Structure 1
């Protein structure tokens, strides 16, 4: 029967369908019954050693700013980050066997991929992560940010440190892999049955996810060093994880549930949900020496190893100049090589 405002029967049918749909989602989200699912043999991890295979990675997607001739600042940032991590004398990693991965979507131009390879970076092309209808924000590049979660599928590495490309490196960073916090995986807290949701994929028995509290909640640019730990929200611009196919499957399953997390901050919200402090896989807090958001002079003087900011548009003038100097050194180095 054709619906119209004056057709009462059609209206009631329409309302009934809405109610049935709402009850279905309510059941999936809140009322899924049965014993808690957990398998202690599923998704187990080993401990790492100083010779374990590890990597540092960043992410690059399509340039959404301006026209085709506009500067792709994140591409420039990725090149500068590679230079700092692998070439610059004062900041390059001490372990030469640790690769720098640039995880790129298929929309990144072949020209940019080839430039990164010539620089010496390891370019990893990945498929987009398919998103459900409800996961969207007003940010143009929102759909791409979840694709960086494919890092969890890179199980050929035992640990991967993710760093956003807009980062200034001040000292060698590979010492982070030697931290006992990183070498030893965590056991999922299967006793927190009220936090384990049966409508999500099975949780892995072991996991490793460590990050830094976001200084946006500790005074922003005016934060002290060491900053006050928020212990609730971490920044997704710097994190270290153990790749795991089981973990990737779990993260993808979370996205299938409407409003399970707030998509406004994209993959950061998903990760903060999956590794929530009160949940069965609470995230670990890295020492503040490793990274800072909203970086300031106190961070620099303390020797914080990585300073995360969109340096081409914002940040303290003296620190912006240091990033521009690193960028200039990178360009001079590769221009000299031809």
Structure 2
């Protein structure tokens, strides 16, 4: 029969086992706690911004201005957007009630897939057609509708530094009056200074922010009651990506593209609207500037029309109040008559 272990030895064995168990529990807990302390109290890498990088010039007496839109996804039978674009071209270039100063061109950025006949038709209508080079976006940027990724081609406007200011508007826009005096607004003429003191909003893993910028837009009525929004509508923290003014800047283009390289930095399901609302977020270093409510309305209603809002952003060919649909269709009729049908 094997001899029994003395009580002291058994006690030592139990104590040793208990000690090992405590170490197994305590060490991971201590390491986790230390990691949390490091995460919350680590010193952020200091971001040094060059005060001369990406500076802009105020508008002089003879600025180079442009109005632009984007036309993509027309390689199928639906001609709705070519109709929208043609009607907008007519309003901006030919309609006496809404046409631009003749020194301001109307640019139509088009995808390479757009049928050649559509491009030629727009040129004959008077638009300046620019075939935009595709952007190489990472795979995480996708939506349920593949062609929506084409909306990121709007970013190409920042590369067009031959212009001092560009007003972008979606093609499904109906004008009630001239739009070009928007370039006379002080907030459009003078560039804004990047708020470098908001260091917590500047990410070291993104490209350097330019020292100056201009991004002016309108609050999105989707968040103020949609079709039932009051007039004038209250401001919101989110703008519509269908109407904005920029000062082109290659430095800003590089910054925006760098943001796309970081997975889920913005919500890809709302495409470039989410990217731009992230880049120019109100609490960020480059907060977007609010244009006057009379310049543009999303989810337009009759109060907007009666209040003299200059541009109504809606697919009025088939959506919106009946009176506004009649307004768009009348402009389509005038365009057809102007071009002889």
**Aligned-residue CA RMSD (Å):** 1.7
TM-score by length of 2: 0.86
1:109, CA displacement in angstroms?
1.2
SS of equivalent to 1:335: coil
From 115, 121, 124, the counterpart of 2:121: 115
TM-aligned CA distance change 1:133 to 1:140, over 3 Å: closer
Q: For 1:58-92, what per-residue CA distance to the aligned partner results, in whole angstroms no more than 9, with x for missing partners? A: 0001226xxx4x23211111110011011101111
* Distance in structure 2 (CA, Å) of the matches to 1:254 and 1:46: 25
1:174, CA displacement in angstroms?
0.2
* Distance in structure 2 (CA, Å) of the matches to 1:180 and 1:285: 12
Corresponding residue of 2:176: 170
* Distance in structure 1 (CA, Å) of the matches to 2:114 and 2:170: 16
* Distance in structure 2 (CA, Å) of the matches to 1:122 and 1:49: 24
From 58, 63, 80, the counterpart of 1:52: 63
Q: Which moves more between the two structures, 176-185 or 140-149? A: 140-149
1:32, CA displacement in angstroms?
9.5
Corresponding residue of 2:134: 128
Corresponding residue of 2:26: none
Q: For 1:31-73, what per-residue CA distance to the aligned partner results, in whole angstroms no more than 9, with x for missing partners? A: 8952113111100001013520010000001226xxx4x2321
Structure 1 stretches of 5 or more lacking a match?
Answer: 1-26
From 34, 48, 58, the counterpart of 1:37: 48
Matched, 1:286 2:285: no
Q: How many aligned residue pairs are there?
A: 303
Structure 2 stretches of 5 or more lacking a match?
Answer: 1-38
1:329, CA displacement in angstroms?
1.0
SS of equivalent to 2:340: helix
Corresponding residue of 2:253: 248
* Distance in structure 1 (CA, Å) of the matches to 2:43 and 2:231: 45
CA contact (8 A) 2:66 2:107 kept: yes
SS of equivalent to 1:211: strand
Corresponding residue of 2:32: none
TM-aligned CA distance change 1:46 to 1:333, over 3 Å: same
From 298, 304, 309, the counterpart of 2:314: 309
Corresponding residue of 1:159: 165
SS of equivalent to 2:146: coil
* Distance in structure 2 (CA, Å) of the matches to 1:49 and 1:176: 15
From 266, 269, 272, the counterpart of 2:274: 269
From 215, 220, 223, the counterpart of 1:217: 223
Task: Name which one, 1 or 2, has greater alpha-carbon Rg.
Answer: 2
* Distance in structure 2 (CA, Å) of the matches to 1:203 and 1:216: 30
